[in-house]
């Protein structure tokens, strides 16, 4: 909040004042109460104005607290999204790892390759020995 919101209004009667001097004053200026020169009929307006300013200051404080709360909620929400995103990535990586572990290893692939080569050679020899029609071109 700014300092302006805490200042009291003053409704001084017009007084001839000297021109402002930009030389520092030798001592503090005497304080005068602005309400002493204000007629009684205008004091109610000053009181009402000060109450309005106090109420607006309280509203500004509530707004600042609410804004801070919303910023904390937003930060918490972002943290939760980050954690859930990490959990989702972890779950995806775990699922992929399970699928990769389910694949046959190098030894199993080598055994299947040897068996496929032996079966292919046996079928080729059988076709040559028994003369399967259409397998070899006619001579």
CA atoms within 13 A on the CB side of 128: 6
Of residues 110 and 90, the one with the higher pLDDT is 110
Chain segment 64-105, per-residue pLDDT in tens: 999 999 999 999 999 998 888 888 888 888 888 888 888 888
pLDDT of residue 87: 84
Determine if the pTM surpasses 0.85: no
Residue located via tokens 């109450």: 51
Share above pLDDT 90 across residues of the chain, in percent, rounded to a whole number? 31
pLDDT of residue 24: 55
pLDDT of residue 110: 95
Tell me how far CA of residue 138 lies from CA of 121, 124, 125, 128, 133, in angstroms. 21, 16, 17, 12, 9
pLDDT of residue 46: 80
**Tokens linked to 54:** 């106090």
Q: Give residue limits of the domains in the chain.
A: 38-103
């Amino acid at each position: 909040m700014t300092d302006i919101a805490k200042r009291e209004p003053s409704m001084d009667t017009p007084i001839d004042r000297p021109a402002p001097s930009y030389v520092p004053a030798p001592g503090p200026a005497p304080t005068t109460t602005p309400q002493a020169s204000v007629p009684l009929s205008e004091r109610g307006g000053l009181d009402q104005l000060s109450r309005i300013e106090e109420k607006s200051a309280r509203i500004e404080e509530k707004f600042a607290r609410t804004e801070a709360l919303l910023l904390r909620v937003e930060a918490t929400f972002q943290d939760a999204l980050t954690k859930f995103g990490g959990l989702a990535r972890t779950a995806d990586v775990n699922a992929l790892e399970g699928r990769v572990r389910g694949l046959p290893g190098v030894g199993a692939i080598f055994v299947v390759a040897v068996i496929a080569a032996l079966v292919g050679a046996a079928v080729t020899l059988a076709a040559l020995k028994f003369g399967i029609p259409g397998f070899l071109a006619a001579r």
